[in-house]
Amino acid sequence: MIAARLRSFGHAMRGGMTLLKTQPNARIHLVATVGVVVAGAVWRISPGEWALVAVACGLVWMAEAFNTALEFLADEVSLERREGIKRAKDVAAFAVLVAAGAAVGIGAVVFGARIVAMF
């Protein structure tokens, strides 16, 4: 039972590495995530603010992962241009955009006043 859980964890980590190796936007998300964590530590944000930041970052990563998984699956179905596949990919990309926009909004709430105070 423990071995099966460890294998599942390994599959998930391999998926994360595939995401980072194949998706330039995932690498941008990684840099942004690290930057936000560093900023949160430097500015000593509150536990509630950490929770908001964690949820925002998690949503962006989840959306990017699901978008990438859908793209991989759709490309296995057909590399030909198909309108239904294009619509599905566009909707998945929109989900990433919405998650990223929400994360920017949360970032503005958590860090905005701190950034303005620097100037």
Q: Which two tokens stand for residue 66?
A: 């699901």
- 90 has binding-site annotation: yes
Distance CA(96)–CA(115), nearest Å, equals 25
Contact 117, 43 (CB under 8 A): no
- 76 has binding-site annotation: no
- 89 has binding-site annotation: yes
- 71 has binding-site annotation: yes
Contact 40, 61 (CB under 8 A): no
Catalytic residue IDs: 64
Place of tokens 């423990």: 2
Known binding-site residues for a divalent metal cation equal 71
Known binding-site residues for ATP equal 71, 89-90
Known binding-site residues for substrate equal 64
